[in-house]
Amino acid sequence: MSYFRRLRDRAGRIDSWVCVGLDPVRDRLPAHLRDSEDGMLRFLTEIVEATADVACCYKPNLGFFLAEGSAGVRTLERLRQAIPADIPVILDGKFGDIGSTAAAYARAAFDVWGFDAVTVSPFVGDDAVEPFAAYSDKGVYVLARTSNPGASRLQDHYALWITVVEAAQEWNKEGNVGLVVGATRSHQLQAVRNVTADLPFLVPGVGAQGGDLKAALQWGATSAGDPAVINSSRGIIFAADGTGFAQAAREAAMDLRDQIRALRGGASA
């Protein structure tokens, strides 16, 4: 089964389009876990256990695991194994190399670690994306318009982002390519959707970055009616300090889910 089919089935089954971003900043871990050898893994697995019936998918950010050295890589591997098999997991690596190097990254993400989807930077062109897109059962989210403030220097140039979107449509031969489009500039969500009716969106920037959730749902939906996957990282996993962090994360994820349901006109239960 393709990644996007699995994602749609999962989201429909639990009526949730919340993607929980797993960005484990060491200094923000609860004090009782911060200096523990397995503290990061315990923190993340408790978050997963608390939100597993609310999250349509998870998105660990590779950078925070690499920052911990070999121990961080082991944590990432163990985290992947701990997430239930029916929940898709996106490795947020923003991979962007060429040729055989891109193919090596694809093997690592999909064959070695077993992730279901990745994020890819298309700046170097076809070579960066095609080795990932060749995995027909996996998902590839191409960076189109990101949520960070510094993105405007390059990405506000119309010719650049529209070229990325048009290229992504060409890369979508297997029906497994989507776009990363941030929620912090709602007019650009609309602009990107006006160029492509069918590519699914992964939308960061809704939580701590204060993006426009209503616009993300309005313009993130595909022509088939599938809403965007709405990612929140810090707003969920760091919703509280101390021993109650997992329950606070659950409540934050449920709150985002319920906001999405209300805006979509869905159930509130």
Candidate list 94, 138, 173, 214, residue with the active-site label: 94
Angular region, 28: left φ>0, alpha ψ -120 to 50, beta rest: alpha
Contact 186, 217 (CB under 8 A): no
Alpha helix segments (H runs only) across the chain: 3-14, 31-34, 39-51, 62-66, 69-82, 99-106, 126-133, 152-155, 158-171, 186-195, 213-220, 234-237, 245-264
Helix 213-220 / helix 186-195 crossing angle, nearest 10 deg: 0
**CA separation for the pair 265, 203 (Å, rounded):** 20
Catalytic status, residue 59: no
The two beta strands, 18-22 and 117-120, are unpaired
List residues with catalytic annotation. Answer: 94
